[in-house]
Amino acid sequence: MERNDDIWVAVVTGSGERAFCAGADLKHRARERDADVNQKARWEKLVGETKSLIERWHFPKPIIARVNGFALGGGLEQALACDIIVAADHAEFGLPEPRRGLIAGSAGVHRLPRQIGLKTAMGFMLTGRHMTALRAYELGLVNQVVPLGELDAAVDEWVSDIVRCAPLAVRATKEATMKGLDYPLAQAYYTVHDGERKRRLSDDALEGPRAFAEKRAPNWKGR
């Protein structure tokens, strides 16, 4: 996806209506020490696939989480790694790992405080409590909450709005925002990242003002 210039935005979701992702298979975890080589290989493959999203700290393209149910443990950690979260109104979020003798070690303990504040995050992380979709929206964790039957339409609207924008501008915006969080404000302001350099030299940087002057929709090329 990262290398395919025809893909401008991605949507991550679960199948069915019950769960976006309910986290690790704890029954498998309980048998892990006694598992054979093939079982361990399958488990390691699953962990690797999960980390491919969670550990992409500066993935350039926007990712939307379509949360269609429970987003617990590793499921919430995957949603936290996305840029926009759209949730069905019956969805629930949480990091219940301490209730099972575990820790939300796939960046959950780091991302949640950054996204909803330290004290609020600690309240959920130290108790394993769940939060409803509405509460997650109130805390700023979720961008939109809709009935399940309207979830696809809501996600499609977000996708449509993103692809109306110049893709290089979207990527440069995401890069400057995410990397800038690691800097003092003045340093973030004066730092020009690779994505912004590429955008400035692109055809799309000329197409936007030209289309505005000609009173037409821009024809973005992504270059």
Q: Total structural domains in the chain?
A: 2
- Which pLDDT score is estimated for 87? 98
- Which pLDDT score is estimated for 174? 97
The yes-or-no verdict on residue 40 having pLDDT over 80 is: no
- 25/112 same-domain check: yes
- 109/198 same-domain check: no
**Does 75 fall in a domain?**
yes
Residue 77 bears catalytic tag: yes
**Does 31 fall in a domain?**
yes
- Which pLDDT score is estimated for 19? 80
- 65/129 same-domain check: yes
Distance CA 43, CA 32 (A): 9
Residues 6 or more apart whose Cβ sits within 8 Å of residue 128? 94, 95, 96, 97, 98, 99
Q: What angle do CA 62, 142, 175 make, to 5 degrees?
A: 30
Reported confidence tier of residue 69, pLDDT bands at 50, 70, 90: very high
- Choosing from 2, 32, 77, 157, the catalytic residue is 77
- As a residue count, the chain comes to 223
Q: Give the mean pLDDT of 138-163.
A: 98
**Does 57 fall in a domain?**
yes
Distance CA 154, CA 147 (A): 10
Q: Would the pTM of this model clear 0.85, i.e. be above it?
A: yes
**Does 5 fall in a domain?**
no
- 155/171 same-domain check: no
- 143/91 same-domain check: yes
Residue 97 bears catalytic tag: yes
The yes-or-no verdict on residue 70 having pLDDT over 70 is: yes
- Choosing from 2, 32, 97, 150, the catalytic residue is 97
- 30/119 same-domain check: yes
- 23/52 same-domain check: yes
- Which pLDDT score is estimated for 49? 57
Domain at 83, CATH number: 3.90.226.10
- 144/35 same-domain check: yes
- 194/121 same-domain check: no
The yes-or-no verdict on residue 45 having pLDDT over 80 is: no
**Does 220 fall in a domain?**
no
Domain at 182, CATH number: 1.10.12.10
**Does 124 fall in a domain?**
yes
**Does 1 fall in a domain?**
no
- 208/152 same-domain check: no
Q: What is the pLDDT of residues 7-33, one digit of tens each?
A: 999 999 998 778 888 655 555 555 556
Token pair belonging to 157: 């609207």
Rounded percentage of the chain residues whose pLDDT exceeds 70: 86
**Does 63 fall in a domain?**
yes
- 150/172 same-domain check: no
- 151/187 same-domain check: no
- Which pLDDT score is estimated for 34? 61
Mean pLDDT of the chain: 90
Task: For residue 83, give its domain range.
Answer: 10-161
